């Protein structure tokens, strides 16, 4: 079992092993010497950083993994960080991945979503906390406020690969609640504990995930408001759908950076500098928020939630509808990599 998690460079294509090793990159220190590129034990918790969060400062870097998956390489190498458990005092490994790459080189439609989620599952991750910079669609959600969304409307355009199940491997998974209630309760408690200390938290919200990379028209922004939209981004999907397929609990923490363009009049429409300025100004709060969440998630009492035991095995049945003889061997092999033992 342990062998499965001894992740090396180029896991899926061993012949690339030496070339990928030489391109080794760590977060936030590129080409840092002496950082291991393997990690021997499963890592259960991951943080995905979005716009303005390409690394997590203040953590000890234990390893940097350059994982190759059947869906290619993730958006960035995976940093394995050490976080001291609040219940045992022992360091717990936490994975960090930068959604848009280390230099923000991937636009929302170019993010390596399948490789990201597959790589995280492969190293043992069963809970993901994902960060996102969002536009606010409601007056009371002010720039720099945090929102824990509980619903999503999909306004992506179907151009992003959005499922692991294809090529003669048919699978269907429930997505009525796109975020995990057990994890979101913990995240909300942590956010509220920081309130009054520069942090404002909105406990729920309808997240509109649009295609981008252009921002919305004013008509679209107003339409989303009539739908009851709270916030808007370009990154929640297919990330959240793929996490569900991969039996991983997923919760996004959104930070408002602008009022999109619905206010009109004298109000400045969203632009990138505005987003980045708010992200930068509130980076310390985002870091404190993630620190508080990791403090809680690494407690022994949350182990069952963090391991997503309630999702374990769901794809064994939901993803095995197709008779063996109708499966395309390549598609079957990919899923066997993702779910060892499920589709043998």
Ligand X SMILES: CSC[C@H]1O[C@H](OP(=O)(O)O)[C@H](O)[C@@H]1O
Site for ligand X, rule CB under 6 A = 50-51, 99-100, 108, 132-133, 212, 233-235, 272, 275
Select the binding partner of residue 135 from ligand ADE, ligand X, none (C-beta < 5 to 8 A, by kind). ligand ADE
**What CA–CA distance (Å, rounded) separates 226 from 309?**
37
Q: How far is the CB of 292 from ligand ADE (least distance, A)?
A: 23
Nearer of residues 253 and 275 to ligand ADE, judged by Cβ:
275
Q: What is the 3-state secondary structure (H, E, C) of 211-235?
A: CCCCCCCHHHHHHHHHCCCCEEECC
Nearer of residues 184 and 233 to ligand ADE, judged by Cβ:
233
- Give the DSSP H/E element, type plus range, for residue 256: strand 249-258
Q: By the 8 A CB rule, do 274 and 259 touch?
A: no
Q: By the 8 A CB rule, do 163 and 241 touch?
A: yes
315 is in an annotated binding site: no
Select the binding partner of residue 244 from ligand X, ligand ADE, none (C-beta < 5 to 8 A, by kind). none
Nearer of residues 49 and 171 to ligand X, judged by Cβ:
49
Please tell me what DSSP assigns to residue 268.
P
Dihedral sign for Cα 118, 123, 127, 130, please: negative
260 assigned to active site: yes
Q: How far is the CB of 160 from ligand X (least distance, A)?
A: 12
Size of the site for ligand ADE (CB under 6 A): 13
197 is in an annotated binding site: no
Dihedral sign for Cα 225, 230, 235, 236, please: negative
Q: Measure Cα distances from 208 to 18, 137, 159, 275, 318 in Å.
A: 42, 9, 17, 17, 27
Q: How far is the CB of 269 from ligand ADE (least distance, A)?
A: 9
258 is in an annotated binding site: yes
- Cα end-to-end distance, the chain, whole Å: 17
- Give the DSSP H/E element, type plus range, for residue 121: helix 113-122
* Residues present in the chain in total: 344
Q: Measure Cα distances from 193 to 95, 99, 182 in Å.
A: 24, 27, 17
For ligand ADE, the binding residues in 121-180 under the rule CB under 6 A are 133-135
Q: By the 8 A CB rule, do 124 and 44 touch?
A: yes
**What CA–CA distance (Å, rounded) separates 114 from 228?**
30
* Residue of 63, 118, 270, 315 interacting with ligand ADE (CB under 6 A): 270
Catalytic annotation, pick one of 40, 145, 258, 266: 258
Q: How far is the CB of 234 from ligand ADE (least distance, A)?
A: 5
Catalytic annotation, pick one of 145, 150, 154, 260: 260
Select the binding partner of residue 123 from ligand X, ligand ADE, none (C-beta < 5 to 8 A, by kind). none
Please tell me what DSSP assigns to residue 195.
B
For ligand ADE, the binding residues in 202-241 under the rule CB under 6 A are 210, 215, 232-234
For ligand ADE, the binding residues in 89-118 under the rule CB under 6 A are none
Q: How far is the CB of 207 from ligand X (least distance, A)?
A: 10
Annotated binding-site residue numbers for phosphate: 51, 99-100, 132-133, 235
Q: What residues act catalytically? A: 258, 260
Binding residues for ligand ADE (CB under 6 A): 133-135, 210, 215, 232-234, 257-258, 260, 270, 275
């Amino acid at each position: 079992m342990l062998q499965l998690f001894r992740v090396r460079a180029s896991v899926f294509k061993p012949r690339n092993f030496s070339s990928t090793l030489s391109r080794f990159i760590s977060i936030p220190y590129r080409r840092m010497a002496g950082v291991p590129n393997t990690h021997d034990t499963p890592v259960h918790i991951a943080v995905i950083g979005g716009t303005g969060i390409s690394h997590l400062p203040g953590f000890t870097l234990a390893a940097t993994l350059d994982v190759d998956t059947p869906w290619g390489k993730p958006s960035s190498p995976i940093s394995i960080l050490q976080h001291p458990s609040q219940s045992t005092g022992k360091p717990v490994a936490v994975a960090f991945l930068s959604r848009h790459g280390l230099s923000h080189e991937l636009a929302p439609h170019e993010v390596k979503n399948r490789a990201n989620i597959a790589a995280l599952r492969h190293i043992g991750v069963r809970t993901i906390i994902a960060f996102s910079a969002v536009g606010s669609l409601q007056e009371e959600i002010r720039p720099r406020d945090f929102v824990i969304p509980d619903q999503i409307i999909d306004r992506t355009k179907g151009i992003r690969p959005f499922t692991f199940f294809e090529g003669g491997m048919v699978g269907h998974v429930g997505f009525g609640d796109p975020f995990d209630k057990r994890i979101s309760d913990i995240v909300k408690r942590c956010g509220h504990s920081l309130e009054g200390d520069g942090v404002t938290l909105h406990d729920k919200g309808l997240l509109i995930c649009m295609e981008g990379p252009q921002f919305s028209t004013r008509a679209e922004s107003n339409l989303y408001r009539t739908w009851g939209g709270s916030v808007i981004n370009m990154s929640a999907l297919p990330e959240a759908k793929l996490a569900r397929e991969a039996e991983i609990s997923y919760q996004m923490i959104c930070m408002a950076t602008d009022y999109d363009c619905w206010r009109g009049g004298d109000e400045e429409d969203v632009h990138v500098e505005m987003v980045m300025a708010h992200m930068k100004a509130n980076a310390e709060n985002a870091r404190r928020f993630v620190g508080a969440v990791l403090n809680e998630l690494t407690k022994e009492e949350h182990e069952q939630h963090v391991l997503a035991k309630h999702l374990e095995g769901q794809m064994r049945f939901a993803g095995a509808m197709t008779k063996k003889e109708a499966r395309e061997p390549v598609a079957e092999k990919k899923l066997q990599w993702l779910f060892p033992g499920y589709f043998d």
